[in-house]
A and B are shown apart, each in its own frame.
Chain A
């Protein structure tokens, strides 16, 4: 499929802040595309450039092959769902939804029919004549979405649309958004700082940091094959392990000496040579932590360590294991429950083992993180299902 929406070398500067720094990417027709990144990384600015509220300093924005960079916002076939909803407080729900068509001077019957259809889509026919301050947060959200959809935009822009909702509502709206996207078939450009939202909704994700896009890929790609240490730490939780290649024992694999941990084997997809430095991201759930020694396997890394901390959470347990001079975070999903199984306790000596294929080589080095002023969030553990837990 061809590129429907294209950003070409777009930059935007506010005073001394480079909000968007030479960004290029493209979105396919009908795609659910997310911009994911921490607060202040330039997501909203990108969206505002797309909507036409800001003009780029450099670069151009193409929609279906047409350069729309110079077109004012009220003439772009693009509509926005604002973070704070921005519903018109003096108009009823019905009038809010109808606004786009009223402005476009569509015939009355057409407007009425379209509004009724939208009200049905969000199941709010009974609230049609209420004012925005008489409906709940989730309802406002839904009205904001269909108000933006009624003109059948070519792209729908959503700026953290779920951020203001509580957790339960957020999860329901997540499903609803997915459903609406399937029903209307419009291209969605979705901004969020919540990796769980981005992972569960998106066809593809662009991970942003400091005005730049660090990586674009399908959710599994950015999770399993992060390009940079920032992506690895921002999406999910990970262990950084950096070392030097000491040997190439078999094709596509290398041995890496890791200071304070030992020698480990890893998949050499970057074709590193002996003496090269590498930085690995090892996801917590890739580790096995057992009291028994695992069976010998050439591609298995097996290390010995001491359990330092345990958090039991019903369906899974987290272990922090001290190995050599390092601390490795692991995540163990409970798949079966044996009454007679000897549980792992604090201070136990354990075997920590993982498949050599499970580590992923990053393009940069973890120590660089601090140089770039980024601190990975070590005290926040993101699990794969998007829940957060403070330790």
Chain B
């Protein structure tokens, strides 16, 4: 029997399509020349330059603060929402369900504008706090969806078994439910973290003057002409994201066996 090579070839083509731009970017960040087209020898000077850019570090700090805070809040709220959605099936719950899904399909630009109008209407000064609020809003939906999927195949007789053996609600939650749902909650949190970290459109609308996050800064830098510093920055971001994903997968696998 002869096996077709088409699946292999399409897979390779797809991988190339996805990763060539990223690989080019990474290589370019080590390019001694200022121009992407010409190779000026291996160099880390863009990284060195990156270290000196105060503006960039301020943006990194902003991004991190917002991402960590938004991840924490949206994970807590989203997990609670998932529990609520899972345990009751009333008409109100169906509305709730719909409301959770909405932010996933509403165009980002619409969310950005509406949040901006809301903040202005409520006279909340634009700044890191409004960015944080905006990020929590859409991250909740993603966390809730991921956790809800896990809850759907959670065996609730385990909770009854724990109660039967004398466990209080709190012990059930701490010893049985949370440990078993941890991979799902962690996955939701990581999704929220990455979404918050690289959100541009919504942030662009609700960020005040002093609250520039990394994606917004990169955008404004590119507007003033592409610089290899951005390549270095992106490479670092890539490395961090990659590390986080690998660690998360390790954790999830450990829980399962």
Contact = CB atoms under 8 A, between A and B. Distances in A.
Interface of A: 51, 53, 72-75, 78-80, 82, 84, 86-90, 99-100, 103-104, 131, 133, 147-148, 151
A189 to B, nearest CB: 13
Pick the 4 closest A-B CB pairs, nearest first.
A86-B161, A100-B165, A86-B157, A103-B166
Contacts of B257: 131, 133
A133 B179 CA distance: 16
B179 A103 contact: no
A323 B168 CA distance: 65
A55 to B, nearest CB: 14
B179 A80 contact: no
B59 to A, nearest CB: 40
Nearest to B169: A74
Interface in B156-180: 157-158, 160-168, 171, 175-176, 179-180
A151 B165 contact: yes
Contact of B164 (A74, A89, A90): A74
Interface string B131-168: 00000000000000000000000010110111111111
A167 B179 CA distance: 35
B255 interface: yes
A99 B162 contact: yes
Given A88-B176, A90-B180, A131-B257, A74 B157 contact: no
21 contacts: A53-B160, A53-B163, A73-B160, A73-B163, A74-B164, A74-B166, A79-B164, A80-B160, A82-B157, A86-B157, A86-B160, A86-B161, A88-B158, A88-B180, A99-B167, A99-B175, A100-B165, A131-B257, A133-B257, A147-B165, A151-B165
B96 to A, nearest CB: 23
Given A73-B160, A90-B180, A90-B255, A99 B165 contact: yes
B255 A103 contact: no
Contacts of A148: 164-165
Nearest to B158: A86
A216 to B, nearest CB: 26
B157 A84 contact: yes
B161 A82 contact: yes
A73 B161 CA distance: 10
Q: Is the interface of B mostly helix, strand, loop or mixed?
A: helix
B210 to A, nearest CB: 45
Nearest to A89: B180
A99 B162 CA distance: 8
A104 B164 contact: no
A100 B166 contact: yes
B161 A74 contact: no
A75 B167 CA distance: 9
Given A89-B180, A90-B180, A131-B257, A151 B166 contact: yes
A73 B164 contact: yes
Contacts of A89: 158, 180
A51 B164 CA distance: 7
Nearest to A133: B257
A136 B255 CA distance: 20
Contacts of A79: 164-165
Interface string B217-257: 00000000000000000000000000000000000000101
Contacts of A151: 165-166
A72 B163 CA distance: 9
A61 to B, nearest CB: 15
A86 B155 contact: yes
**Most A-side CB within 10 Å, residue of B155, B166, B171, B257:** B166
A147 B165 CA distance: 8
Given A79-B164, A88-B161, 14 more contacts: A74-B168, A75-B166, A82-B157, A88-B162, A88-B180, A90-B180, A90-B255, A99-B165, A100-B165, A103-B165, A103-B166, A103-B167, A103-B171, A148-B165
A253 B255 CA distance: 72
A151 B167 CA distance: 12
Nearest to A84: B157
A10 B114 CA distance: 57
B255 A80 contact: no
A84 B171 CA distance: 22
A70 to B, nearest CB: 15
A386 to B, nearest CB: 28
Point out which of B161, B165, B168 has the most chain A C-beta atoms below 10 A from its C-beta.
Answer: B165
A66 B169 CA distance: 25
Interface centre among A82, A87, A104 (most CB of B within 10 A): A82
Contacts of B176: 88
Contacts of B162: 88, 99, 103
A104 B166 contact: yes
**Most chain-A CB neighbours within 10 Å: which of B161, B168, B175?**
B161
Contacts of B163: 53, 72-74
A386 B164 CA distance: 32
Contacts of A82: 157, 160-161
A376 B161 CA distance: 35
Given A86-B155, A90-B180, A80 B161 contact: yes
Most B C-beta atoms less than 10 A away, residue of A90, A104, A133: A90
A232 B140 CA distance: 60
A53 B161 CA distance: 10
B249 to A, nearest CB: 18
A84 B155 CA distance: 10
Contacts of A80: 160-161, 164
Contacts of A90: 179-180, 255
A147 B163 CA distance: 13
Contacts of A99: 162, 165, 167, 175
Nearest to B172: A74
B54 to A, nearest CB: 47
